[in-house]
Amino acid sequence: MLFGSGFGSPFGKLVSGARIKRYPKHQLLLYGGDTVIDLYVLKKGVAKMYDIDQKGNEKILHLLKPPCLLPLTAFGTSGQTNDWFYGSITDCEVYSVSYSEAERRVAADGKLAASLMRHITSEMHELLTRLSSLGKSDAHGKLAQVLTFLAVRHTSEPPTAAGGASRSRSATNCSPI
């Protein structure tokens, strides 16, 4: 494995030889409205994806943990404008891979493409679960939705390629109510 269970083969192939950028906690990784020229892959730490309302308040949309792709909405599209802000909650390290290189690696490796699709699908599921919980009118309904989600998504231990169990996903990547 390259550096931890989340970056084993084939996912590690995406970041092999990539430049590493370090961000102290509470620092912006990507600004909303910026043109994105590189794909970031969160190597270490916890980051947040958020928007800022008209009153200047942060509205957290999603919490990110390794090996999350940043920005979530721009994979494979170089020069796209980033819609959201991304900031570090803890000290973070990210791999920076040019879009053209990422696209070349994904096109050349079906296992990498399938792994990225599974990862992005999982992130989208978490975002949709968050959206669904916002539709609940009372705190009890919201809490029941989040607890059900945590029980289903973060307590199972899928087998690893070696046949053993991997660690379950942390609840830290589930956005707060």
Residue 9: pLDDT band with limits 50, 70, 90? low
CATH topology of domain 5-173: Jelly Rolls (2.60.120)
Per-residue pLDDT at 175 exceeds 60: no
Q: How confident is the model over 53-69, as a mean pLDDT?
A: 88
Rounded to 5°, angle at Cα 32 from 26 and 36: 105
What is the distance between the alpha carbons of residues 105 and 102, in angstroms, rounded to a whole number?
Answer: 5
Per-residue pLDDT at 138 exceeds 50: yes
Mean of pLDDT over the chain:
77
71: helix, strand or coil: coil
159: helix, strand or coil: strand
Per-residue pLDDT at 159 exceeds 50: no
Residue-level pLDDT at 173 = 41
> Comparing 163 with 44, which gets the higher pLDDT?
44
Q: How confident is the model over 73-95, as a mean pLDDT?
A: 83
